[in-house]
Structure 1
């Protein structure tokens, strides 16, 4: 029924200010590690994705949803703020105005709305969600993995800095890829009109 059930509210009800901050720091550390993994991470959301669940999904690189999925950051209705990065990732993904609206109202919304605002990439019938997520992962895996990892790294780092620094990061990544055997293989296959590519991740 849920993508992630979320935090234990009965436990959080007893938190002091110090305990609450420690809990938030702990959760943010985990989600930052997920966000900064070298490999791409796909969230397949089927069911409720509220609070910490939505924050977990937003830490993933690509989000897909089933028609049954429900999203939201309802924390203000519990007397707290989002604590695992929701106030920071949601504006970066959907824009400040919509993020403010959703966070300050605590509104729960459906998968089609999530797609409309850019929170998820695609919406599928529930029975198709996992096969579609696996197919997407396989499509990514068919490419040169050094290039995939460098692309993810530069996008993740670049969004947090100015455009001049970001394009310099991109130039570094482009240079790294130009020194790989996979570049030779990929470009060779293109020029030879050869569909099969034998990437070795070197």
Structure 2
């Protein structure tokens, strides 16, 4: 968010702003498609919260990533606090949020904040490579896995294991396991029915 806009908030309007931002980030996180944050430079505050709402985060070497809100007297309020704790654990969340530091891409990779780092001059090719690899994976299985992972992040163990079993079984309804296993045994690429990149 723009700091000038944030300056206009008070305790009452800040709650509404947070709910609005959380709703937006939750809609992004709930998209059935696999989402990728391609981070080529600074990714701070709301930008980092957006990246955390994505399934994968890919960065250029020059990128710096973090949640500096405490440096201006607030905390991440658009889901960044919750997502940082859930995705990276309390230790990492404390470091990122309490210090407000922007991490170099290599450090972000080391702690799991990003999934890959590419040289600056090969960033686009690196991102395209990940996209191409994702497109070779069964689309219904990816959607099922994404939905299940999101659910498991919020559930107790017994419920999580039940949900996993049902999601595993639902993959078979798509027909993708039959094609995937046949392709594996035939030593050929699977013929998924998802659109391919041009």
With the shorter chain as reference, the TM-score category is over 0.9
Question: SS of 1:176's equivalent?
Answer: helix
Q: Which stretch shifts more, 11-20 or 59-68?
A: 11-20
Residue equivalent to 1:198: 191
Number of aligned residues: 194
Shift of 1:161: 0.7
Q: Residue 121 of structure 1 is aligned with which of 106, 115, 122?
A: 115
Structure 2 matches for 1:101-140, cutoff 5 A?
101-140=95-134
Q: Deviation of residue 181 (structure 1)?
A: 2.5
Structure 1 residue 180: Cα displacement: 2.7
* Residue equivalent to 2:71: 77
Distance, in Å, in 1 between the alignment partners of 2:114 and 2:3 is 26
1:4 is matched with none
* TM-score between both structures, scaled by the size of structure 2: 0.92
Q: Does 1:64 align with 2:91?
A: no
Q: 2:34 aligns with which of 40, 45, 49?
A: 40
Question: Which aligned segments of 4 or more residues in structure 1 are displaced greater than 4 angstroms?
Answer: none
Runs of 5+ in structure 1 lacking a partner?
Answer: 1-6
**In 2: Cα distance, 1:94 partner to 1:181 partner:** 34
Q: TM-score, normalization: structure 1? A: 0.91
What is the alpha-carbon root mean square deviation over aligned residues?
Answer: 1.4
How far the C-alpha of 1:41 sits from its partner, in A, is 0.4
